Chain A
Amino acid sequence: MLCKRIIAILVIVASCSKVALAQDECELILTQATEEFNAGHLTSIAPMLKDCLDKNQRRDWRQRAYLLLAETYLLLEDPANAEQSYLNVLRANPEYITDPSRDPIDLVYLSGKFTATPIFSVHGYAGPNITPVRVIHDVHSGGEPYTKETYSVRPGWQVGAGAEYNYNDYLSATLGANFLRTTFKQTTTNLFGMDKDIIEFIDRQNWMTVPISVKYTQPNGKWRRYGYVGLSFNYLMSDKADIEINNRDARADAGIDERTSFDKSISNVNLINYRNRYNSSFFVGGGVKYKYKLDYFYFDLRYSFGMKNVASPEDRYNSLTLGLPYAYVDDDFRIDNLAFSVGYIHPFYKPRKLQKARTKSVLRKIEKEDNETN
């Protein structure tokens, strides 16, 4: 058994050494080919590189080799092979961008005929959120006019995934599927008298949402900012509440300001039958993407404006008539959501020749750089 392991290790080490050796040889050949290019011996370059290219070298080596070939074919006035070589550059590094200050002008023009912008990309994300409540109608369970209800935010979370269609380098459309846990707290005070009963109601809702958005993204750089707007279609999967009742009565043996409390907690009260299950929201958001190899990490902040009444007015009192023994009744309300997410984007790059070359933009870029130099 031990012998077998040692043999396996030796085989792996030998293989790695062989690969490293081959890479060193190809690096040497690429250096020699570059020297031949500089010396004007253009016809010998392709045969020199052929063996190494067939061996499927590292991405950066292949990028450099195909760039050299593309420049070579341009000088040899072989546009077909020049285009094929540049396409291979983009296959090696889909995010390669020519630089007029560094690259020959004919190569820069050639690059304008191609793009590697991904048509589709997929992403996944997760993070915390809070849910501000916006009251449409304030509905009280008690008859006193001074009974007061306040809402406060509680932490929730979300996780989701989606796909993005890139119209061009800047604009894209996104379709997602998102699981959203929202929570908020309603506190009722002055129930059955000033400074008397307090009811704390913590609502926990699970939503499945389908957001659709249009996004504008800064196309270049290690850090790329973006912003988007969209609509989300939301389905309420479950809604449960915890209720804390503080029944505060004046103490018989003390003044009216001293109160004794008869408390009660109720957990996991199911409210789904008293709520509208279908909802929608309008959202805006933005963030920044960090390029990591050919993928991205991103940090996203989104604010969703709830559009529909979460409470079902026709079912509002069912909770009181069907056996929930506490003095709580739903307001008419919408819920917003502020979500922060950390996510990961994987683009599906597709190097391809453009139907219409972007040579005007190349020219503008060169002129701009000339002006800056002068």
Chain B
Amino acid sequence: MCSCDTEGNVDPVYQTYFLKYYGEDGNQEGVDLLVNPDGSMILLGNSSSQTNPITIPFIAKVDPFGTVQWQRQLGGLNEKAIDVELDNGGNLIVLSNYGDDDNSRVKVYRLGQDGTGMDSVLLDFQEWQLGRSVTVASDGRILIAGSRKPYAPNNLGDFALPGEDFADMTVIQLDATFQNDSIIAGFGGGELNGSALKIFENSSGGYNLLGYSDRPAKDNVRKTRFEAFTLNEVFSSPGQRVIAEVPGETQVAASVIETFTLPGYIMAGTSYVNTLSSNIYVVSYYNPLDRVTSNADKMPTTQYQSQYLLNRRLESVSISAAEPDYLFVAANEIKDNNKRDIFLLRLTINGSVMGSLSFGSLEGDDSAGAVRAHPDGRIAVFGTMELETQKKMVLIMLSPNGNFSN
């Protein structure tokens, strides 16, 4: 009681665990977070003015303690940044969607770690495409997973659809020099709606593609559920697809990662009971995807499928692994007033619940963008907070226990 608190004896815990806002004029929405090997972080978002909702991508680099090193706008108006990844040279590959509806196009940027633009390309196939993620292949090619305008020839004859065809899963390929691009649609068709989420190279020279669609399964029921495909080197799907679902509910995937402790992929999404009830849904896939555990099985299996009934209305946004032990799922919690809070679910790598916490103001519409495991063990949660007069990107750095202290 009689000793003095000084700079020397008060732990500067705020340097390690913090909550900081980022942005510029107007509103900024946080969508993706990339953690560099050196611990610095890339914050990707979109900016709009207080009076005009048209967006322009906004990107910032911060040091491990959240201090801005540089920040800038990227691209042009009516463009929404979606994903940022590293290329094989350590540069930043940023994916955005440019334009709306039928005019939506995919745009890719390459930036240096100092924020300078190195290259960019607008992919225009004279039809709409919507990118969801970007993957840099080992040879430097850029693979974009997403959805596109349905390809009508895939839905003729026996494959005719019972209703309006909205979107097909797709992968777009761009060479490392940003010169040649192509749409690969060999697995498209059969679904009224769906989207690829992420494509991974696999060890057999092909690819694994994960996403969701309402393509019927063997039960011939048309409902949206998680889908995973093994593709060969020319992106055709010679094997079985792996589906995962909660019977009677609709599953929409949001994020997928590759894991190595439990070799495979973990996809997180939302299982909708109805329009007013939804839960976090996580599926852990084997690698190779199409593993059949016994000769008697007709369908490939997964390592686990878990629906988390937490008495909250939750919609998954992002998943991350802090291997070898933990998984983190960032979600939006929809409150009674239809405003959202950022929700963080902490799981073991096997999918058991360890804890959860939420961030956000009662009246503000706050939303998750991404969750990442920092190399130093911290959890980085990125998203958007609606402050009293503006929306700002928010970076929340937590201990593995989900606290702002050790």
Contact = CB atoms under 8 A, between A and B. Distances in A.
Interface string B76-110: 00000000000000000000000000000000000
Given A143-B62, A325-B364, A329-B19, A264 B14 contact: no
Given A143-B66, A143-B395, A252-B49, A327 B21 contact: yes
B402 to A, nearest CB: 11
Contacts of B404: 314, 316-317
A143 B49 contact: no
Contact of A233 (B1, B7, B50, B392): B1
Given A231-B2, A307-B5, A324-B361, A139 B390 contact: no
Contacts of B161: none
A278 interface: yes
A358 B18 CA distance: 67
Interface residues on B, range: 35 or more
A145 interface: yes
B13 interface: yes
B22 A142 contact: yes
A325 B386 contact: yes
B388 A326 contact: yes
Interface stretch (A74-82, A243-251, A283-291): A243-251
Interface string B1-23: 11111110011111000111111
Contact of A266 (B358, B386, B388): B388
Given A143-B395, A317-B18, A263 B4 contact: no
Nearest to B60: A143
Contacts of A317: 18-19, 404
A258 interface: no
Contacts of A205: none
Given A143-B60, A249-B26, A325-B363, A192 B21 contact: yes
A323 B389 contact: no
Contacts of B364: 325
Contacts of B22: 142-143, 192
Contact of B21 (A142, A263, A307, A313): A142
A263 B25 CA distance: 14
A103 B243 CA distance: 114
B239 to A, nearest CB: 45
A273 B162 CA distance: 58
B389 A145 contact: no
A137 B23 CA distance: 24
A280 interface: yes
Contact of A314 (B3, B23, B386, B405): B405
Given A245-B389, A252-B51, A325-B363, A307 B23 contact: no
Nearest to B13: A313
A332 B389 contact: no
Nearest to A249: B25
B249 interface: no
Interface string B356-370: 011111111000000
A308 B18 contact: no
Interface in A244-287: 245, 247, 249-250, 252, 262-264, 266, 278, 280
B246 interface: no
A374 interface: no
A320 B389 contact: no
A313 B12 CA distance: 9
Given A143-B66, A249-B26, A314-B404, A280 B19 contact: no
B347 interface: no
B67 interface: yes
Contact of B362 (A140, A142, A309, A323): A323
B387 interface: yes
A320 B387 CA distance: 10
Contact of B24 (A193, A263, A264): A193
27 contacts: A136-B6, A139-B18, A142-B20, A142-B21, A143-B20, A143-B22, A143-B62, A144-B67, A145-B67, A145-B68, A192-B392, A193-B24, A249-B25, A252-B51, A278-B1, A280-B1, A308-B1, A308-B4, A309-B5, A314-B13, A317-B404, A321-B358, A323-B360, A325-B364, A325-B386, A332-B5, A334-B4
Given A142-B22, A280-B2, 7 more contacts: A139-B18, A141-B19, A143-B68, A245-B389, A264-B389, A313-B11, A314-B404
**Interface pairs A-B: 3 shortest CB-CB:** A325-B361, A247-B389, A249-B25
Interface of B: 1-7, 10-14, 18-26, 49-52, 60, 62, 66-68, 357-364, 385-390, 392, 395, 403-405
